[in-house]
Amino acid sequence: MHILITGAAGNIGTRLRKLLKGAYPRIRLSDVRSPTDLRSDEEFIAVDLADYEKVKKITEGIDGIVHLGGHARRGSWDTIHKSNIIGCYNLFEAAYRSGVKRVVFASSNHVVGFYPRERKIGVDVTVRPDSRYGVSKAFGEAVGALYADKHGLRVTCIRIGSVKDKPIDQRRLSIWIKPEDLAQLVRIGLEHPDIRFEIFYGSSNNEAGWWDNSNARRFGYHPEFRSEDFRAEAMAAQAKLPPDPIGDRFQGGSFCSDEYDADRKW
């Protein structure tokens, strides 16, 4: 398979391109900025996802795309609109026109950020985004479903929790995913013969988890890392953080409290 990774210069892209290299000898990298650690044997093409013609070019001859590119945090509507709405649409449209067979889309837990922490949710709940960023990821999932159902693209959306080597606070004990486990999910999306349109939660084996990830397990996902192994460290870090009465209630954390005024008196 010839793979394209968008957002290849970012945090996850930098980790994934190394983790996936053994499995896929041919990987094309793209981002709006160049990776700082690009090696001479790696193919990199700088492209802004908002430019359809250029996005079309980088998808040509590709079998599977890992779509990480985009604005990866809260942001203004202009920024989110350009990178995550127009950019994401361009990516799926170009993939379809170029005959790409599979797309793995980096969705986010912020698609469902306004579910309370005491509620365990699966992949079939109504989206409850906690930010313009979360809305853009819900849009990406919807575009993915359209191209899967209408045009036969095989699409996997991974609602990624928090990608780090270890969970860094209490919330991350519930949503953490180690890069190696994420690479396992990405490979399922790129290779499993029964994928049409699927949503997985991007989390490791987290005892404190809020998500029913049985859909991913159905496709053979066996996360190897446990957030509980880092509990003491994560809770010590949590103790140094200021309380966040709204953020601490909801799964999306500070994305929920940011700009929050739903309790105001009319």
Ligand X SMILES: NC(=O)c1ccc[n+]([C@@H]2O[C@H](COP(=O)([O-])OP(=O)(O)OC[C@H]3O[C@@H](n4cnc5c(N)ncnc54)[C@H](O)[C@@H]3O)[C@@H](O)[C@H]2O)c1
Interface residue list for ligand X (CB under 6 A): 7, 9-13, 31-33, 48-50, 68-72, 82-83, 87, 106, 108, 160, 162-163
Question: Which helix (H) or strand (E) segment is 142 a member of?
Answer: helix 132-151
Smallest distance, ligand X to C-beta of residue 141, A: 12
For residues 176 and 199, give the distance between their C-alpha atoms in angstroms, rounded to a whole number: 17
| Closer residue to ligand X (CB): 133 or 147 | 133
| Closer residue to ligand X (CB): 48 or 212 | 48
CA 52 to chain centre: 21
Count the neighbouring beta carbons within 10 Å of the beta carbon of residue 114.
20
Smallest distance, ligand X to C-beta of residue 10, A: 2
| Closer residue to ligand X (CB): 182 or 261 | 182
Question: Which helix (H) or strand (E) segment is 176 a member of?
Answer: strand 176-177
- Three-class DSSP category at 57: helix
For residues 144 and 154, give the distance between their C-alpha atoms in angstroms, rounded to a whole number: 9
Q: Are 74 and 167 a contacting pair, CB within 8 Å?
A: no
Count the neighbouring beta carbons within 10 Å of the beta carbon of residue 118.
8
Smallest distance, ligand X to C-beta of residue 264, A: 29
Smallest distance, ligand X to C-beta of residue 40, A: 20
Nearest residue to ligand X, by Cβ distance, number only:
10
| Closer residue to ligand X (CB): 152 or 176 | 176
For residues 77 and 134, give the distance between their C-alpha atoms in angstroms, rounded to a whole number: 12
Residue positions annotated with a catalytic role: 133
Q: Are 29 and 193 a contacting pair, CB within 8 Å?
A: no
Helices (H) then strands (E): counts for the chain: 10, 9
Distances (CA, A) of 67 to 51, 96, 158: 15, 14, 10
Would you state the structure tokens that stand for residue 226, as one six-digit string?
């446990």
Smallest distance, ligand X to C-beta of residue 13, A: 6
| Closer residue to ligand X (CB): 103 or 150 | 103
Smallest distance, ligand X to C-beta of residue 108, A: 4
Instruction: Report CA Rg, the chain.
Output: 18
Q: Are 141 and 157 a contacting pair, CB within 8 Å?
A: yes
| Closer residue to ligand X (CB): 9 or 183 | 9
